Amino acid sequence: MNGTSPRFLKAIPLILVLLTALVCPAFSEDIKTLTMKAMGGDAEAQFNLGVAYSYGEGVPQDYKEAIKWFRKAAEQGLPEAQFNLGVSYFKGLGVPQDYAEAMKWYRKAAEKGSVTAQSILGSTYSMGLGVPQDHAEAAKWYRKAADQGDASAQYFLGRAYDRGLVVPKDHAEAAKWYRKAAEQGDASAQYDLGVAYSIGQGVPQDYAEAAKWFRKAAEQGDASAQYGLGEIYYFGSGVPQDYTEAAKWYQLAAGQGYAAAQYSLGMIYKDGKGVPKDHAEASKWYRKAAEQGYVNAQYILGLSYDTGRGVPQDYVLAYFWFSLAASRSTGEIHNNSVKYRDGTAQKLPPEQLMKAQQMTREWEAKHPRE
């Protein structure tokens, strides 16, 4: 139940989507009055007129006209206009897409205290989008936004401390920032705070507290947290052991494609814990996890085909799944996979063994190691 790098990387583009929406304030003046004020040099009116053209509010939607007014306000130093001009260049709205120009205007807005611009600068420096990748610069801007209470920046600052990205690795400091974001409802921060409590990293180990934060994130649809909460209930850590409740949360995470949850759901169908025993259903979930490269599921799916439990007996497929599990696992799973693969090979005629080996090579070629 720990946060993974792929999960972190997937979160950054989501933050960019959330933060590259145009600032859209409410304004009560009619377009004629707004236009007169804008033409007279009023920066707020110029900005609002740009917004009106961006969304087609009272005027035909026209991104080029929006850009014209955003630029006039931005050049007068209005941070909201500078930010929207950055968004326009970032997304290519009314101007050719230009990340470098977007960064220029985001920076101007950030230096004026725009929390959204500060947070997006943190994300773009983390990704190296429009600027050279620079974790130190990312941490600087995340901190500015985090100090102003921006939940996404607080979360990413927590990740920086968790992983020792530029800042010294400090799990207690990470937990502090996770908590700030989690208390604002950030699901990723709630999950990572739950992880911290479950393993006692930066905070005292406390399974009940872990369950609390996993639940908050899980109820927002976070698959990692749903799986974590399923584990909490399965093992009875900080909550009464409840296989039915575990199955419920595994099912929700598995339905989102979370491989570990798919494997665990398969296991409880195999054992009939919290659900009726059903080997066919178990094999269905093993397969979903196995096809994502989850080695435990590949191994047990090999066993299923070897014995014909939940699936038709098929030594070619048994060999195939044992081979995949053996190639990317260690320890007991690796040793058992090798043993059963070699045992299955003895049951196969030469032409079927060659077919199984070819299937394995083709799968490996399509799924290179990270």
Per residue in 230-257, pLDDT (tens digit) is 999 999 999 999 999 999 999 999 999 9
Point out the domain boundary residue: 153, 182, 205.
205
Which pairs from 51-58 meet CB under 8 Å and 24+ separation? 51/22, 51/23, 51/24, 51/25, 51/27, 51/84, 54/22, 54/24, 54/84, 54/93, 55/22, 55/24, 58/30, 58/31
One domain for residues 171 and 222? no
Point out the domain boundary residue: 245, 277, 292.
292
Question: pLDDT (tens digit, 9 = 90+) per residue, 186-214?
Answer: 999 999 999 999 999 999 999 999 999 99
One domain for residues 286 and 346? no
Q: Which of 134-148, 218-232, 283-297 has the lowest mean pLDDT?
A: 134-148
Does the reported pTM lie above 0.75? yes
Q: What is the 3-state secondary structure (H, E, C) of the chain?
A: CCCCHHHHHHHHHHHHHHHCCCCCCCCCCCHHHHHHHHHCCCHHHHHHHHHHHHHCCCCCCCHHHHHHHHHHHHHCCCHHHHHHHHHHHHHCCCCCCCHHHHHHHHHHHHHCCCHHHHHHHHHHHHHCCCCCCCHHHHHHHHHHHHHCCCHHHHHHHHHHHHHCCCCCCCHHHHHHHHHHHHCCCCHHHHHHHHHHHHHCCCCCCCHHHHHHHHHHHHCCCCHHHHHHHHHHHHHCCCCCCCHHHHHHHHHHHHHCCCHHHHHHHHHHHHHCCCCCCCHHHHHHHHHHHHCCCCHHHHHHHHHHHHHCCCCCCCHHHHHHHHHHHHHCCCHHHHHHHHHHHHHHHCCCCHHHHHHHHHHHHHHHHHCCCC
Q: Which residue has the tokens 């600052």?
A: 157
Q: Which domain holds residue 270?
A: 206-292
Distance CA 48, CA 84 (A): 11
One domain for residues 270 and 321? no
One domain for residues 9 and 129? yes
Question: pLDDT (tens digit, 9 = 90+) per residue, 87-97?
Answer: 999 999 999 99
Pair 108, 82: CB distance under 8 Å: yes
One domain for residues 201 and 212? no
Distance CA 252, CA 225 (A): 10
Q: Which residue has the tokens 């955003």?
A: 70
Among candidate residues 270, 289, 290, 272, the one with its CA nearest the CA of residue 280: 270
Neighbouring residues of 23: CB distance < 8 A, sequence distance ≥ 6: 51, 80, 83, 84, 116
Report the CATH number at residue 134. 1.25.40.10
Question: pLDDT (tens digit, 9 = 90+) per residue, 315-353?
Answer: 999 999 999 999 999 999 999 999 999 999 999 999 999
One domain for residues 148 and 256? no
One domain for residues 219 and 198? no
Instruction: Name the band, by pLDDT with cuts 50, 70 and 90, for residue 126.
Output: confident
Helix 115-127 / helix 135-147 crossing angle, nearest 10 deg: 160
Average pLDDT over residues 132-137: 89
Distance CA 152, CA 144 (A): 12
One domain for residues 234 and 309? no
Question: pLDDT (tens digit, 9 = 90+) per residue, 40-89?
Answer: 999 999 999 999 999 998 899 999 999 999 999 999 999 999 999 999 99
One domain for residues 169 and 33? yes
Question: pLDDT (tens digit, 9 = 90+) per residue, 2-51?
Answer: 333 334 334 433 344 334 556 555 555 689 999 999 999 999 999 999 99
One domain for residues 230 and 86? no
Domains identified in the chain, total number? 3
Distance CA 84, CA 47 (A): 9
Pair 116, 23: CB distance under 8 Å: yes
Point out the domain boundary residue: 175, 205, 235.
205
Q: Give the pLDDT score at 2.
A: 35
Instruction: Name the band, by pLDDT with cuts 50, 70 and 90, for residue 131.
Output: confident
Q: Give the pLDDT score at 237.
A: 94
One domain for residues 286 and 370? no
Cα 286 to the center of its chain, rounded Å: 23
Q: Give the pLDDT score at 18.
A: 38
Q: Give the pLDDT score at 13.
A: 39
Instruction: Name the band, by pLDDT with cuts 50, 70 and 90, for residue 123.
Output: confident
One domain for residues 267 and 300? no
Q: Which of 157-171, 288-302, 350-364 has the lowest mean pLDDT?
A: 157-171
Question: pLDDT (tens digit, 9 = 90+) per residue, 251-291?
Answer: 999 999 999 999 999 999 999 999 999 999 999 999 999 99
